[in-house]
Amino acid sequence: MLTTASSRLPAAFLALLTSSALLAACGGGGSANGGSAGACATGAAAAANQITVAQEPDGGVSTPAGKCWASVPPTTMAVLDVGTAVSGTSATFKVAWSKKDLYILADTQVWPINNAGGANWWQSDATEFGVSGSDSHSGAFTSGNTYQLAITSDGTLQTSGDNGTNANPAPGAIAKIVANKGFYTELVVPWGTLQVSAPAKGQKYQFDIGQDFGDSSGNRLAQMVWQANPAMASTSDWHQDTSQWGDITLG
């Protein structure tokens, strides 16, 4: 579990980390969506390309071992889509939801951390998120509610605008470096950004996540993904092809 941290984040992201909105304990009061106090997440990972995700209050989370995240089992990004696996590294993720937001938290084990890719952020240690308000798996982003987003290990949110409208959303993002261990990132996406007006249990959405591992020269060594088809990597990148994505079901 992640217990101590040495942060190199910009002041704006440090402010997010210490804000009451992101760090509110799930047992510390009523949630913004009207849920009961202390209603921590209780999700369970499913097999293959689908996971059922847990519901939690809108108060937010802090670390992978935080009070609401602790009961959500991690899912491993196990598909090598690019490059050669880097010894001693791993990447897992957790997903939860409230009536207001979709939460994704990734825990990346890698040391030292490299962020030398610059504008080519995918050449750095970065977490990529494929989020959507639909479940069409139609391939290209044509609906206007499907996005590729990423967070580099320095806490920078990357919005590529890869969707039908080429519009960049503005979800919340945090990142925290853990000395001699790695880093974790959390993405909070409002359902309104995904054009979902009333999220409810049983709804299913296409989703994927990947982790880039870079070196100190700004070269990507590997990319591990939850659901990708490595045979298509040279012709159709998973982050722009929803036919390769998995599913999350609101539980």
Work out the mean pLDDT of the chain and round it to a whole number.
75
Neighbours of 192 (CB within 10 A): 13
Structural contact between residues 77 and 211, judged by C-beta atoms closer than 8 angstroms: yes
Q: Residue 183 and residue 2: Cα distance in Å, rounded?
A: 9
Tokens of 55: 């519901």
DSSP H/E element including 20: helix 20-23
Q: Taking the CA atoms of the chain, what radius of gyration do you get in angstroms? A: 17
Residue with tokens 């440090």: 14
Per residue in 132-182, pLDDT (tens digit) is 999 999 888 777 788 888 888 888 888 665 554 545 566 777 788 888 899
Per residue in 66-105, pLDDT (tens digit) is 556 777 889 999 999 999 999 999 999 999 888 888 989 9
Domains, the chain, in order of start with CATH, read 11-24+41-250 (2.60.40.1190)
